[in-house]
Structures are given as structure tokens and as C-alpha cells.
Amino acid sequence: MKKPSTISGLRELMRQNNIRPKKRWGQNFLVDGNILSKIAKYASADHNGYIVEIGPGLGALTEELAIQHKGVLAIDIDYSLEPALRQVLSPYDNVHLIFQDIMATDIEEELTKVFQLKSVPNYTVCANIPYNITTPIIFKLLEQCPNLKSAILMMQKEVAGRIMAAPGGKDYGLLTLTVAYHAQAKFLMNVSPSCFYPRPEVESTVIKIIPSSGKRVKVNQEKEFIMLLKFAFQKRRKTMLNIAADYFSCDKTLAKNILEEINISPARRPETLDLEDFASLANAFLEKNLYKKI
Ligand code: SAH
């Protein structure tokens, strides 16, 4: 049988099944056996129970995951891949396939259902995710997947850089802080465009996201806190004084006093504040009852 994990096997499989890679769904298939097995090993190092794969494509990574885990749930949006994917995965009876948009999927409900479990198991997500929806997928995993133990995610190198950025630079921002609020992120490896077919225009990076059981900072109103982060980074050229006065609709003298009370110089720009600074900012204004009613 044709193996999707080599360039010749993948092309043959595509030819036989009349498949052309679709750009809009980020179809760049991994064709490097070494990288595939490394990714699967990273996933099983944490957990050799249940795995959810987002975007199995033609199943090169799914096969590796199936060998190393108890059960794999793989979800892909592209129905036209179904016959080829079922053929590739036919030797593995521990793989369940679902064809729908991951953004419209209740991952934990499906996982429990397909493996006929009594409650949601702990699990790892593993994915060479479509680059155009990396950020919404990460937010979904962090906000809607309480039993997720870890996620091994391949993404565009620049996005990984934004997730792991330190305060002060241009990469640091809303994505950095939202991920830091919910989880810990670790760099695993870079992957060159030559490991994919077709070759993408960008470099890729694999990272691991580990949701925190307790949050790193305590905020009194989580929604308020996330809204403040969004607001601040829409205005990243402004000073914290202007951002706080605008956001909390108060006069500048009051905003300046509150900022100084919590040791944030009013002239600072948002990209110099860390997660702890933003948390004390949100909490301090809330304590004075100065918050946006949402
Ligand atoms: N994991 C495979 C394929 C990666 S390409 C490999 O490494 O070779 C990205 C895959 O994500 C494609 O199969 C594409 O169809 C799928 N995809 C794109 N958008 C999706 C979405 N919204 N929900 C689920 N899968 C999606």
C-alpha cells in the first residue's frame, strides 16, 4: 500500500484518488519520516492514552500516532480525503475519523462518544494545523477544552515566535499574554519547508502547550482582563496612561494615581508590561469600581 509519509507514496496516493492539495485549507503534507516520528514521540511522552489529531490530511502523522497510543480521534474538514485516508488507516482499529470543521466541533464530547467512555478522558492534541486558523484553534483549545493535558502543535515559525516572545519586542502582544495566562509554551523544533509536499512558503515550528491547572495570575474578572489586553494591544503605540484612562473611562489624574500605586510608570507602552503587570492593573481599577460594564 502507498505510504503517505514519503513524497513518492503521497503523490501516488493523490493521483490514484484524484486529490489536489487545497491551499485554502492549508494542505501542506508532511513527507519526512524522521520529523513525523519525532512529533508522535513528543505526543506520547506525555500521554499514551487518547490523542486528538486536527487535520490528519492523508494520515502520515495519524499512522505514527495510532501505533503509539490507545486511541486516536482525527478530525479533518475535507471530505474528499476520506477514501484515501480510510485506506491508509485501515490497519488501525484504534483510529476514529470525523469529517467536519474543527472550529465547529465539541472535541471533548466527540472524544467521549467515539471511544464510548463514561467521562471525558485526559488527552493530548497533536496537529500540523492549518496555518490560517492557528490562533483561533489555540484559543479554542485553551478556553473550551478543560481536560486537555497538552498540545503538540506545528505552526508558522512567526506565530510560534509571538507565542514565546519576551516583553519589549514587536512579537510580544495579545497572543503571548493570552497563552501565558492559560498555559505554558515550550519550543520543540523547527521544520524546514523541504519536509512538506507541496512546500509551504514559510518556515515551521513545533511547540508544546501545557494548560496550567491553576492560573499564573489571579484576576478578579477574567472577561474584563482579556478585554483589557485586547484593547491595550490595539493601541500599542499609546502610553499606559492613555490606555487606562480611555479603557476605564476615567480622568487622567486618577488613572495616573492608580498606575503609580501599582508601580507601573504611566509613560510605559503596553508591550513592556508582563502578565503580572496587566493582572494588577485590571484588579486595581476593578477595586475602584472603574470597569467597563460588559
Ligand atoms: N497532518 C497532515 C496534514 C496537514 S495539512 C500532515 O501533516 O501531512 C492541514 C490539514 O488540516 C489538511 O488536511 C486540511 O484539510 C485540514 N484542515 C484545514 N482546515 C481545517 C478545519 N477548519 N478543521 C479541520 N481540519 C482542517
Q: State which amino acid sits at residue 246.
A: D
Q: Are residues 226 and 181 in the same domain?
A: no
* CATH (domain of 228): 1.10.8.100
Q: How far is Cα 198 from Cα 192, in angstroms, rounded to an integer?
A: 12
Q: Is 192 found in the same domain as 62?
A: yes
Q: Roughly how many angstroms between the first and final C-alpha of the chain, as a whole number?
A: 57
Yes or no: say if 6 and 33 are a contact pair by the CB < 8 Å rule.
yes
By mean pLDDT, which of 4-13, 72-81, 219-228, 248-257 is the weakest?
219-228
Q: Is residue 170 part of a domain?
A: yes
Answer yes or no: is pLDDT of 294 > 60.
no
* Span from the CA of 54 to the centroid of ligand 1 (angstroms): 6
Residue 139 binned pLDDT confidence (cut-offs 50, 70, 90): very high
Instruction: Answer yes or no: is pLDDT of 114 > 60.
Output: yes
* pLDDT band with cut points at 50, 70 and 90 for residue 179: very high
Report the number of distinct structural domains present in the chain: 2
pLDDT at residue 5 is higher than 50 = yes
Residue 110 shares a structural domain with residue 194: yes
pLDDT at 47: 67
Residue 55 CA, ligand 1 centroid: distance in Å: 3
pLDDT > 90: what percent of the chain?
85
- 265: domain range? 222-287
Same-domain check for residues 52 and 172? yes
- Asked which of 211, 233, 266 is the last residue of a domain, the reply is 211
- How many angstroms separate the CA atoms of 240 and 269, rounded? 6
Can you tell me which atom of ligand 1 is nearest the CA of 28?
5
- Judge if the beta carbon of residue 39 lies within 6 A of ligand 1: no
**Ligand 1 atom at shortest distance from the alpha carbon of 60:** 8
pLDDT of 188 over the 70 cut: yes
**The pLDDT value given to residue 94:** 97
- Torsion angles phi and psi, residue 191, rounded to 5: -130, 130
Mean pLDDT of the chain: 93
Residue type present at position 45: A
- Domain end call among 154, 183, 211: 211
Spacing, Cα 138 to ligand 1 middle (Å): 15
Within this chain, do residues 23 and 160 fall inside the same structural domain, yes or no? yes
